[in-house]
Amino acid sequence: MSASFDAKRAKTTLFDALADARQTYGAKKPILEDQERSPLSYTDLIRAAFALGRKIAGFTRPGERVGIMLPASSAAVVTFFALHAFGRVPAMLNFTAGIRNLKAACELAGVKRVLTSHRFVEQGKLHDLVDALETLTTVTYLEDVRKTVGLSDKLFAAAAGAFPKQFRAPSKPSDPGVILFTSGSFGAPKGVVLSQQNLIANVQQIAAHIPLDPDWVMFNPLPTFHCFGLTGGALLPILCGIKAFQYPSPLHIKQIPPLIKDTGASVLFATDTFVNQYARSAEPDELSGLKFIVCGAERVREETHNLIAERFGGVPVLEGYGATEASPVIAVNKPTDNRRGTVGGLLPGMETRLEPVEGISGGGRLYVRGPNVMSGYLTAGGGVEPPPDGWHDTGDVVSITDDGWVKIKGRVKRFAKVGGEMVSLTAAEDLACAVWPEGRHAVIALPDPKKGERLILVTDRQDADATALIAHAQSIQVPEIAVPRKIIRVPEIPVLGTGKTDYVAIQRMVDAELLRAA
């Protein structure tokens, strides 16, 4: 059932929202599960958070920013709420970001303690990361912490589980709910502070926009260091009475489709890259039980829409749009109103402002404001710099229809000036996708002494050539300046842990290739 959105209802804390959800949906309702297949009820989750949180509180201080380096799992969710139960701030660490970015994130957030797991470090072969982190922080393993949980901790957790609001540490809705780090697809990651009410508001905005059923199961293979995985894949279901199934890696292409069927999943959260791969490897009955699929973080290709529609009985793929700074969802399509080529309707409570961008018509640079927009960015001194007057500059160029449906034209950084004309690099990628729909493509711009800038297509299609691109562009009346003439073929296009194209790595590949050719 869908709910109306009232920003005042978001003015609560995350732990109290969890306690309220238990009251609403039933203490014994199974609400969290992972690949271990040991479901936790609301009461199990609350008790586990108090038992673990009490131990963590013994070696951290109130208000401390504590790193969590775990895959999507029940352990990650329990640890997140364990920190909140005792007034600590979770800082979700992106273990796919590389040593340099991970150390920079810990320094920026002042993280002195990182919680992880032996099993995860072993399976992910993350020993080098841990060694690097240990030069800055103390790395603590949850298996070791759990061994120290004794009878008195269990008795405390049982009492606290019965009266969570009496036992949890006091906090305010405006206090930090989480620190996340932007993906860094264009440069160094920024630290984003989302308040507790930011996160709860976004959950409530989504629930007011799309009717949700507590009988559903949400399948989340996305990491909780990514805001889409945290809010959409964990907090939204748990706070709305829907069982959240956490899976540790979106890269397990063959294992995930049968598990989606086996868990009775109703909703899948993923990115276009992964959904396309799941659809190719799945048996026809493995995804057809889904009510819908929600895709964010990157554009959904037409080929993905068609593949899902043809193979799985018309399961809708709902493209959405967000930013870490907006907790993250700004707009999303609906199962009952799914407009391909758009990122959906604005969520209730969102304000928008479009500012003109020189050389680009029919849209503008999008600024957003609302109850889900961040407290601010972390500053070098450990403070928080709020967005000016509450407005966040998304850096995206969009158009918005009269009824609030958003179409992305590209990032401001993803436009090039070729021969005095503004050209969308995203549109140039779309050309390549139309000609070679089964390939993966990225377009970047490089300085050019004659034209200002020129476009370079990087693709995993070994047979890609400019002739086919030019012919297609002519057939749909796209100007030739928008067609990349230089093509670099690579074994695979690098992506970030979330499935987004890694433009920093692509820039390096192009630089290296051009240096070799020089």
DSSP for 273-285, please give it: HHHHHHHHHS-HH
Neighbouring residues of 441: CB distance < 8 A, sequence distance ≥ 6: 429, 432, 433, 457, 458, 459, 460, 461, 493
Per-block mean pLDDT, blocks of 10 residues, the chain (518 long):
68 95 96 95 96 96 97 97 97 90 92 96 94 95 94 93 93 96 69 97 96 96 93 97 95 94 95 90 90 89 88 90 95 94 94 87 90 95 92 91 90 69 77 84 81 83 85 80 84 78 82 77
* Predicted pLDDT at 420: 66
Per the listing, tokens 């989302």 go with: 194
Neighbouring residues of 211: CB distance < 8 A, sequence distance ≥ 6: 1, 2
Among candidate residues 352, 444, 432, the one with its CA nearest the CA of residue 399? 352
Which residues is 329 bridged to in the sheet? 322
Task: Write the single-letter amino acid at 304.
Answer: T
Distance, in Å, from the CA atom of 462 to the CA atom of 437, rounded to the nearest integer, reads 13
Distance, in Å, from the CA atom of 500 to the CA atom of 367, rounded to the nearest integer, reads 22
Whether residue 180 contacts residue 324, with contact meaning beta carbons closer than 8 Å, is answered with: yes
Whether residue 297 contacts residue 498, with contact meaning beta carbons closer than 8 Å, is answered with: yes
Neighbouring residues of 161: CB distance < 8 A, sequence distance ≥ 6: 43, 46, 47, 50
3-state secondary structure string across 243-273:
EEEECCCCCCCCCHHHHHHHCCCCEEEECHH
Please state, as a whole number, how many other Cβ atoms lie within 10 Å of the Cβ of residue 288. Answer: 16
User: SS3 of 313, please?
Assistant: coil
Whether residue 445 contacts residue 431, with contact meaning beta carbons closer than 8 Å, is answered with: no
CATH hierarchy code of domain 11-199: 3.40.50.12780
Whether residue 83 contacts residue 113, with contact meaning beta carbons closer than 8 Å, is answered with: no
Distance, in Å, from the CA atom of 300 to the CA atom of 297, rounded to the nearest integer, reads 9
Whether residue 350 contacts residue 391, with contact meaning beta carbons closer than 8 Å, is answered with: no
Report the alpha-carbon angle 139-180-445, nearest 5: 115
DSSP one-letter string for 37-69: ---EEHHHHHHHHHHHHHHHHTTS-TT-EEEE-
Among candidate residues 465, 497, 218, 202, the one with its CA nearest the CA of residue 323? 202
Among candidate residues 246, 365, 344, the one with its CA nearest the CA of residue 296? 344
DSSP one-letter string for 358-406: TTEEEEEEEEEESTTS-SEEEPTTS-EEPPGGG-EEEEEEEEE-TT-BE
Fold of 419-517: GMP Synthetase; Chain A, domain 3 (3.30.300)
Among candidate residues 500, 497, 373, the one with its CA nearest the CA of residue 426? 500
Tokens of 174: 């405006």
* Predicted pLDDT at 66: 98
**What is the gyration radius of the CA atoms in the chain, in angstroms?**
23
Whether residue 464 contacts residue 456, with contact meaning beta carbons closer than 8 Å, is answered with: no
Whether residue 90 contacts residue 80, with contact meaning beta carbons closer than 8 Å, is answered with: yes
Per the listing, tokens 């009510």 go with: 291
- The continuous run of DSSP H or E covering 159 comes out as helix 151-162
- The continuous run of DSSP H or E covering 220 comes out as strand 217-220
Report the alpha-carbon angle 390-395-399, nearest 5: 95
Whether residue 453 contacts residue 421, with contact meaning beta carbons closer than 8 Å, is answered with: no
Q: Where are the domains of the chain?
A: 11-199, 419-517
* Predicted pLDDT at 412: 64
Are 11-199 and 419-517 in the same CATH fold?
A: no
Distance, in Å, from the CA atom of 441 to the CA atom of 458, rounded to the nearest integer, reads 6
